[in-house]
A = this chain, B = another copy of it.
Amino acid sequence: MAISAAGSSRSERNAVAAPAGVNRPATIHDIAAMCGVAASTVSRALSTPDRVNFRTRARIEAAAAELNYTPNSQAKALSSGRTGAVGVLVPDITNPFYFDLIRGTQLQLKAAGYTQLLVDTEESDEVEASTMEQLRKGADGIIVTAPRLGDDVLLAAAAKMPMVTINRDVPGVPAVIIDTPTATGQALDHLVSLGHTRVAFMAGPLTSQSSSRRWAALSSAAEERGVEVLRLGPFAPKTQSGAAAADSAVHSGVTACIAFNDLIAIGMLQRLRERGIRVPEDMSIVGCDDIFGADFCNPPLTTMTSPIEQAGRVAVSMLLGRLNPLAGGSNRSRSVMPTHLTVRGSTGPARVV
Contact = CB atoms under 8 A, between A and B. Distances in A.
Given A93-B102, A117-B115, A25 B136 contact: yes
A138 interface: yes
Given A93-B102, A93-B103, A96-B96, A133 B296 contact: no
Interface in A39-98: 70, 72-75, 77-78, 83, 93-94, 96
A266 B270 CA distance: 17
Q: Copy number in this complex?
A: 2
A151 interface: no
Contact of A296 (B25, B75, B293): B293
A134 B114 CA distance: 12
A106 B89 CA distance: 13
A298 interface: yes
A198 to B, nearest CB: 26
A169 interface: no
A325 B228 CA distance: 65
A118 B110 CA distance: 12
A156 to B, nearest CB: 12
A222 to B, nearest CB: 29
A298 B117 CA distance: 36
Given A100-B94, A117-B115, A292-B96, A137 B70 contact: yes
Given A70-B134, A74-B138, A93-B102, 9 more contacts: A70-B133, A93-B99, A96-B99, A115-B117, A116-B118, A118-B118, A239-B296, A292-B293, A297-B297
29 contacts: A70-B133, A70-B137, A72-B78, A72-B137, A74-B74, A74-B78, A74-B137, A78-B78, A93-B99, A93-B102, A93-B103, A94-B292, A96-B292, A99-B99, A103-B120, A106-B118, A106-B119, A106-B120, A107-B120, A116-B117, A116-B118, A116-B119, A117-B117, A118-B118, A269-B296, A270-B295, A293-B297, A296-B297, A298-B299
